[in-house]
Structure 1
Amino acid sequence: MDNKRRFALVGTGNRGTTMWGRELLAGWRSFVDLVAIADTNSLRAERARTMIASNAPIYGDVDRMLAETRPDLVIVCTPDDTHDDIVVRSLESGADVITEKPMATTVEKIRRILDAERRTGRRVDVSFNYRFAPTAARIKEMLLAGEIGRVTSVDFHWYLDTEHGADYFRRWHAYTERSGSLFVHKATHHFDLLNWYLDSAPVTVSAFAGLQMYGRKGPFRGLRCKLCPHKERCDFYLDLEADPFLDALYEQPSEIDGYFRDGCVFREDIDTPDTMVANIRYRNNVHVSYSLNTFQPIEGHHIAFNGTEGRIELRQYEDQPWETAPEDTILLVRNFPKGKPAVERITVPHFPGGHYGGDDRLRNTIFKPGMTDPLGQRASARAGALSVLCGIAALQSSLSGKVVRLADLMPELFEGEGDALAGPAQSAAGGRR
């Protein structure tokens, strides 16, 4: 195929090597051609290239890579705080960009990306694959069909188990300067789902957050699991050698950049919260109660939409110490059935691939010619900006004890959005306790 998209992969960690490297070439090779790999760690890049099964040249400098290979598309999978520089330079080179979430970590970084997109006329896609999960799509269809009337509130609670949740505290994600905190890095997925489900923008946020398990809350600590004298009694000990994939990508490459994949989850300088709750008010006057917990015996989420004519509820299990069916069950309960069933149970089977098939559907939408997007699942830079801004507001509120108004953080993102943005809640500058 002569019209393959020539793409460059920047960042060869787990996500870059698998989702946007090995898997992308394995399933979409008819539509894409990997022309360059860039990473500051040359050994990690070499090992990732072998795993991807590519012979693309490796670069340690993004500008040189852009100048010499002239990709049509750049896929950014680097640490969160570096996204904006790479996205902007890629756009300015004439390439479109797919960036892993979150799109950025600060208001100024968001501004840089949105400005560069406007100036260059290129496109930024944000990898919000949860939108593409079959169950999420079915819920969106039900909301669009008005199954529960006008949505008035949402209960949304996300649970990370002691394997997945702890992993954020072993890595650079544990530092707010790098990740923006988990209110930005992880919850950007969840805030984006809310924005997409509700087809509205968040207006105000109030939040609480703190360290309850990790960091300085730990009973002992070391530098990293491999060298830790407490490994025999630590519930969070990670044996990196037991995972050949992670060991190859991170252990020997750590000699180049000093980045250990098995950092101690109890490091005293960890500053991102592990337990978070937030209340969010939307422009369309929907009220949301949200929480994120990172050390549970279960993995998954619970979401319920409360409407004027009923309720849609989902409890999705992703990992738990008991058997569950290979499907999700959405519960639709009507206030006033009027000849319809008072309760309907809608079953959505799990599909192969990451996020129950969501990863594949995302890649299909972006790369396969002629794909339509009736549910608006493909996420723009504005969608990326709104989800990050919601996380920034939540972190600020948790630190200040005040309600934060998003339009005060970034007025230009809300220009022309109407008087609903000026609702009754006080801003961070003059907020109430």
Structure 2
Amino acid sequence: MRDEGKRRVALVGTGHRGTGMWGKELIAECGAWADLVALCDRNPLRLERARQAVGVEAALYTDLAAMLREVKPETVIVCTPDVQHDDDIVLALGAGADVITEKPMATTAAKCGRILDAEKRTGRRVDVAFNYRYSPTAQRLKELLISGVIGEVTSVDFHWYLDTKHGADYFRRWHANLANSGSLFVHKATHHFDLLNWYLESDPTEVFARGSLRHYGRNGPFRGPRCRACPHAPRCDYYMDISADPWLDMLYEDPSAEDGYVRDACVFREEIDIPDTMSANILYESGAQVSYSLNTYMPIEGHHLAFNGTKGRIEIRQYERQRWTVPPADEILLMRNFTDIERIWVQHREGGHHGGDRVLHAMLFRPGMEDPLGQRASARAGAVSVLTGVAAVESMRADRSVRLDSLLALPSRPAQGEAPARKAS
């Protein structure tokens, strides 16, 4: 029996993120308000296993159009590969559903424009799952910036480090091909660019970037088609035994016989064509200048972020994974000009992204949630972050700066927290 008081939700894409965060975890946290009525994936075996893992009696589909027509969900959650997002989002909007999409919203400027046009045409809403906005530390930083304690922000230093586990993972999967992900300037950095846009309450206007493949791909000393049964496994630092992870093994190993997609592809494959070492200079409408970098083969996981203002500086080094013990909290250093330093400690919360995932779920599904900090991210926010990454890729190729307005004309920036208009259900 379906609960008529709950929102009818369908999920397309039942990989790790879809089945976990937007399946099992969503129902555990928001099952009082969300009824997962259907799952869709091109891989029928993964579909069956995802339904069992989530623990729902959802209808199963391998065709999204058929699912939309027959199930008529009110909300569709899109967790398919990045290159497919625009097709799935536009189809769901056209069927009268609102959409929650995993980041990045799309992989090209044209795809972003297509989604924005469809949202305007249908009157439905697209939310982008920028869960980093919801972490307790990001919220505290936003509050400090709004308070004006360091005056006008004139520049930002933002450097993200992916370790040899997390960083390498992007080069094992479909993300390692530019056509699928738009590169990590789009797939991964969309999180970071969105944080900057949200923190600064301004749009980027121009990007100059560098990027190169220095460690993975053809730089490797040897290679094989995948880790499983690879003759180089005993001497490869990046060997991954997928059977040692029951969750990934369940979702990907046997199902790979259905579609050929393996989860443990070699990180040294010669066909990898995205950079693993990236940097960018970004200019904002506000005049703020940003120095950004992303490295994917570090011994540490986390980031360094500093806001430089006319009255002082806010700085943080967030540790996510490293070989030494750190407190379960982040230390924010608030440095006002001509006064002593203030140390602000922010405790981590349970759950993904230091508790941010849970707050994102609640914001999107719990009735009556307020949004004073403008954490809920619209399709426009999704587009601006993607365009920043697309501009970085174009700059890297052309060896010149790229203006975002040369890629796509965006609607005006709304006031903080303002939601796009939508039709009644």
Deviation per residue, 1:187-225 (Å, 9 max, x gap): 000000000000000000000000111001111000000
Work out the CA distance in 2 between the residues paired with 1:237 and 1:223: 12
Work out the CA distance in 1 between the residues paired with 2:16 and 2:269: 23
Give the match for residue 376 of structure 1: 374
Give the match for residue 142 of structure 2: 140
Question: Which residues in structure 2 correspond to 1:76-95 (within 5 Å)?
Answer: 76-95=78-97
Give the match for residue 392 of structure 2: 394
Deviation per residue, 1:360-413 (Å, 9 max, x gap): 111111111111000000000000000000000001111110000110111x21
Instruction: Say if 1:128 and 1:189, in contact at 8 Å, map to a contact too.
Output: yes
Work out the CA distance in 1 between the residues paired with 2:411 and 2:75: 29
Instruction: Say if 1:407 and 1:414, in contact at 8 Å, map to a contact too.
Output: no
- What's the % identity of the aligned pairs? 64
Alpha-carbon spacing, 1:46–1:416, altered in 2? closer, same or farther (3 Å): closer
Alpha-carbon spacing, 1:416–1:229, altered in 2? closer, same or farther (3 Å): closer
Q: 2:305 aligned to 287, 303, 306, which one?
A: 303
Instruction: Say if 2:29 and 2:361, in contact at 8 Å, map to a contact too.
Output: no
Q: Secondary structure at the match of 2:292?
A: strand
Work out the CA distance in 1 between the residues paired with 2:384 and 2:413: 15
Q: CA deviation at 1:57?
A: 1.0
Q: CA deviation at 1:245?
A: 0.6
| Over 2 Å off, 4+ runs | 414-417
Work out the CA distance in 2 between the residues paired with 1:379 and 1:414: 15
Q: Which amino acid aligns with 1:194?
A: L
Instruction: Say if 2:380 and 2:411, in contact at 8 Å, map to a contact too.
Output: no
Work out the CA distance in 2 between the residues paired with 1:396 and 1:228: 36
Q: CA deviation at 1:98?
A: 0.1
Q: 2:410 aligned to 409, 413, 419, which one?
A: 413
Give the match for residue 360 of structure 1: 358
Instruction: Say if 1:274 and 1:293, in contact at 8 Å, map to a contact too.
Output: yes
Q: 1:28 aligned to 27, 30, 50, which one?
A: 30
Give the match for residue 12 of structure 1: 14
Q: Secondary structure at the match of 2:314?
A: strand
Question: Which residues in structure 2 correspond to 1:66-105 (within 5 Å)?
Answer: 66-105=68-107
Q: Secondary structure at the match of 1:40?
A: coil
Alpha-carbon spacing, 1:415–1:354, altered in 2? closer, same or farther (3 Å): closer
Work out the CA distance in 2 between the residues paired with 1:227 and 1:201: 48
Instruction: Say if 2:161 and 2:294, in contact at 8 Å, map to a contact too.
Output: yes
Q: CA deviation at 1:4?
A: 1.0
Question: Which residues in structure 2 correspond to 1:2-401 (within 5 Å)?
Answer: 2-337=4-339, 342-401=340-399
Q: Which amino acid aligns with 1:4?
A: K
Q: CA deviation at 1:416?
A: 8.8
Work out the CA distance in 2 between the residues paired with 1:138 and 1:51: 35
Q: CA deviation at 1:108?
A: 1.2
Instruction: Say if 2:156 and 2:288, in contact at 8 Å, map to a contact too.
Output: yes
* Unaligned stretches of 5+ residues in structure 2: 415-425
Work out the CA distance in 1 between the residues paired with 2:74 and 2:342: 47
Q: Which amino acid aligns with 2:83?
A: D
Q: CA deviation at 1:295?
A: 0.3
Deviation per residue, 1:154-204 (Å, 9 max, x gap): 000000000000000000000000000000000000000000000000000
Work out the CA distance in 2 between the residues paired with 1:154 and 1:192: 14
Work out the CA distance in 2 between the residues paired with 1:204 and 1:80: 24
Q: CA deviation at 1:111?
A: 1.0
Q: CA deviation at 1:336?
A: 2.9
Instruction: Name the TM-score, length of structure 2 as normaliser.
Output: 0.96
Q: CA deviation at 1:27?
A: 1.2
Q: Secondary structure at the match of 1:277?
A: strand
Q: CA deviation at 1:415?
A: 6.3
Q: Secondary structure at the match of 1:118?
A: helix
Q: Which amino acid aligns with 1:303?
A: L
Give the match for residue 431 of structure 1: none
For these two proteins, the number of residue pairs brought into alignment is: 412
Work out the CA distance in 2 between the residues paired with 1:132 and 1:175: 29
Q: CA deviation at 1:414?
A: 6.0
Deviation per residue, 1:79-123 (Å, 9 max, x gap): 000000000000000000000000000111111100000000000
Q: Which amino acid aligns with 1:378?
A: R
Q: Secondary structure at the match of 1:184?
A: coil
Work out the CA distance in 2 between the residues paired with 1:27 and 1:385: 28
* Unaligned stretches of 5+ residues in structure 1: 418-433
Instruction: Name the TM-score, length of structure 1 as normaliser.
Output: 0.94
Instruction: Say if 1:172 and 1:178, in contact at 8 Å, map to a contact too.
Output: yes
Alpha-carbon spacing, 1:88–1:416, altered in 2? closer, same or farther (3 Å): closer
Q: Which amino acid aligns with 2:402?
A: V
Q: Which amino acid aligns with 2:410?
A: L
Work out the CA distance in 1 between the residues paired with 2:55 and 2:99: 22
Q: Secondary structure at the match of 1:227?
A: coil
Q: Secondary structure at the match of 1:263?
A: coil
Q: Which amino acid aligns with 2:73?
A: P
Q: Secondary structure at the match of 2:228?
A: helix
Instruction: Say if 2:156 and 2:291, in contact at 8 Å, map to a contact too.
Output: yes
Deviation per residue, 1:44-71 (Å, 9 max, x gap): 1111111100110110000000000000
Q: Secondary structure at the match of 2:395?
A: helix
CA RMSD of aligned residues (A): 1.0
Give the match for residue 423 of structure 1: none
Q: CA deviation at 1:2?
A: 3.9
